[in-house]
Amino acid sequence: MNEGKKANKWGVLVATLLGGFMVILNNSLMNVALPYFMQLFDITAVEGQWIVTAFALGMAIVMPLTSYLSKRVGRKKIFLLGTLIFFVGSLAGPFSWDFTSMIFFRLLQGFGGGLIMPLTMMLIFKHFPKNERGLALGIWGIAAMVAPTIGPTLGGVLLEFFSWDMLFYINLPTAVVAAGAGLYFLEKDGEPMMLRFDWIGFLFISFGLVAAMIGIDLLQAYPGELWVYGLIAAGVSALVLFIWQELRSDEPLLNIRILRNTVFSGSLIVICFSVMAMFSVLLLVPILIQDIYGYSPLFAGLLLFPQALSMGIAMTIGGRVLDKKGPYIVIMTGVVTTTLSTFAIGFSIGEVGVVMLTTFLVFQGIGNGMINTPASTAGLNALKEEHVPAGSAFNNVSRQLMKVICIVFISIFFEYRRGTHLSTNEWAAAGEQAVQESYLLVAVFLLASIPLVYYLRKRW
């Protein structure tokens, strides 16, 4: 009997890892392809960014529903439905006849991914005991953290030797295998819970997330425009109304009250700093290597590959340390390592060669691997079991929102600083200085996370 449980437990991990890896890899494949699509569809860089943003937007809209759907319909059914929707979006993507149709298919992929991602954490927490969750989420975290770094490498290979269609088609085998693993390993859903659907809350959070994310994204194209700030303000206001609605509802769509848990809310903030560190690399390194130095997308992807390996190793080790020693040691080590290595990258750009830059990226990968998954585990472990579905949804929504904020904010800062330096420097030198200053800005934000981790040490 115990052996059967053990086999099922690790089978569930395989299914969730495949689902998570498929979703996150798909998004990061597109990062190095944006210059290609800009030429293909004759669009600007700001418009091209929507190929990435549409996917994140689709995920953000659907994620708040997963807590309700997992109880009302069943986790296995929703996991399989999300995989099917993602499969259809990936199959349809290569048939895009213009930029608008591609955005629609990317949005469809996001809907499927938004159902899958929160469920992966829910299923792991359901099947693994508390003293093994760090290891399990550490292994799963290889998908969550390494896939964005492997993606540019694979995307560069596909663009170099095949066609852009493969950026979509490559998802199909993984989707089929993930669905098969889900059918075989996930246990049959129990009786559905008869819950009332909070339509008012759903409308508030959907409009709030869409308006806020679109408004933030439009800041790149329309800086200083009052209507853009009005859109962001409307989104934030809708999110405030969502919180008000959930606090007064007997059957809330998401249990806002879990944010009163200091450990959980603090862990969300630490995760947001980690996401900032990761996506600053995925945005700035390709710009530095491709746009400024003139190398190929494949070279940019290969440069990021050692960081992916180091991140995966660190996540597995970090999860095991968390299970035995608690979260403080591993997360503080990760935060300090990530902060120092980000400062090192910022100060060294333009001063060192590719080998030394790769070394600093490896150390940043090690540090980030020790933050993200352990922080997620510590935060969710602090919740009651019945609150884990809502916590998982919060965890994933905050990642998506932070990713959009980070990409837009760093892009605007980079372009602003490059424009400033172009008055006194040539193109390459101005770009190097702008990348350097962008990294140093990220490092300063990361520095601010160290006191927070120290504050949480006695609560973990």
Per residue in 270-324, pLDDT (tens digit) is: 988 888 888 788 778 877 887 777 777 677 777 877 887 888 788 878 877 887 8
pLDDT tens figures, 106-162: 999 999 999 998 888 888 888 888 788 878 877 887 766 667 667 767 877 888 788
Of the CA atoms within 13 Å of residue 136, those in its CB half-sphere come to 26
Whether 23 maps to a domain, the answer reads yes
What whole-number distance in Å separates Cα of residue 355 and Cα of residue 372? 26
Domain check: are 232 and 335 in the same one?
A: no
Q: What is the number of structural domains in the chain? A: 2
Whether 191 maps to a domain, the answer reads no
Whether 240 maps to a domain, the answer reads yes
Whether 192 maps to a domain, the answer reads no
Per-residue model confidence (pLDDT) at position 74: 85
Per-residue model confidence (pLDDT) at position 2: 39
Confidence grade of residue 196 (pLDDT, cut at 50, 70, 90):
confident
What whole-number distance in Å separates Cα of residue 22 and Cα of residue 202? 27
Give yes or no for a contact between 282 and 149, defined as CB atoms under 8 angstroms apart: yes
What whole-number distance in Å separates Cα of residue 298 and Cα of residue 154? 8
CATH classification at residue 141: 1.20.1250.20
Burial pattern 211-245, b for ≥16 Cβ within 10 A else e, equals bbbbbbbbbbeeeeeeebeebbeebeebbebbbeb
Domain check: are 312 and 178 in the same one?
A: yes
Least confident of 160-164, 217-221, 330-334: 217-221
Reading phi first (left if > 0) and then psi (alpha if -120 to 50, else beta), residue 12 is in: alpha
Whether 367 maps to a domain, the answer reads yes
Per-residue model confidence (pLDDT) at position 162: 83
Domain check: are 160 and 242 in the same one?
A: no
Domain check: are 155 and 264 in the same one?
A: yes
Whether 194 maps to a domain, the answer reads no
Out of 233, 252, 271, pick the residue that ends a domain.
252
Out of 252, 279, 295, pick the residue that ends a domain.
252
Q: What value does the mean pLDDT take over residues 221-229?
A: 82
pLDDT tens figures, 41-100: 887 766 777 887 788 888 888 888 888 888 888 888 999 999 999 999 999 999 988 888
Domain check: are 43 and 146 in the same one?
A: yes
Domain check: are 283 and 406 in the same one?
A: yes
Domain check: are 288 and 360 in the same one?
A: yes
pLDDT tens figures, 370-418: 887 788 888 888 888 778 878 888 887 788 778 778 877 888 888 888 8
Whether 65 maps to a domain, the answer reads yes
Domain check: are 315 and 452 in the same one?
A: yes
Residue 219: domain span: 199-252
Three-state SS letters, the chain: CHHHHHHHHHHHHHHHHHHHHHHHHHHHHCHHHHHHHHHHHCCCHHHHCHHHHHHHHHHHHHHHHHHHHHHHCCHHHHHHHHHHHHHHHHHHHHHCCCHHHHHHHHHHHHHHHHHHHHHHHHHHHHHCCHHHHHHHHHHHHHHHHHHHHHHHHHHHHHHHHCCCCHHHHCHHHHHHHHHHHHHHHCCCCCCCCCCCCCHHHHHHHHHHHHHHHHHHHHCCCCCCCHHHHHHHHHHHHHHHHHHHHHHHCCCCCCCHHHHHCHHHHHHHHHHHHHHHHHHHHHHHHHHHHHHHCCCCHHHHHHHHHHHHHHHHHHHHHHHHHHHHHCHHHHHHHHHHHHHHHHHHHHHHCCCCCHHHHHHHHHHHHHHHHCCHHHHHHHHHHCCCHHHHHHHHHHHHHHHHHHHHHHHHHHHHHHHHHHHHHCCCCCHHHHHHHHHHHHHHHHHHHHHCHHHHHHHHCCCC
Domain check: are 247 and 382 in the same one?
A: no
Domain check: are 232 and 312 in the same one?
A: no
Domain check: are 327 and 372 in the same one?
A: yes
Domain check: are 235 and 212 in the same one?
A: yes
* Polymer length in residues for the chain: 460
Out of 252, 270, 297, pick the residue that ends a domain.
252
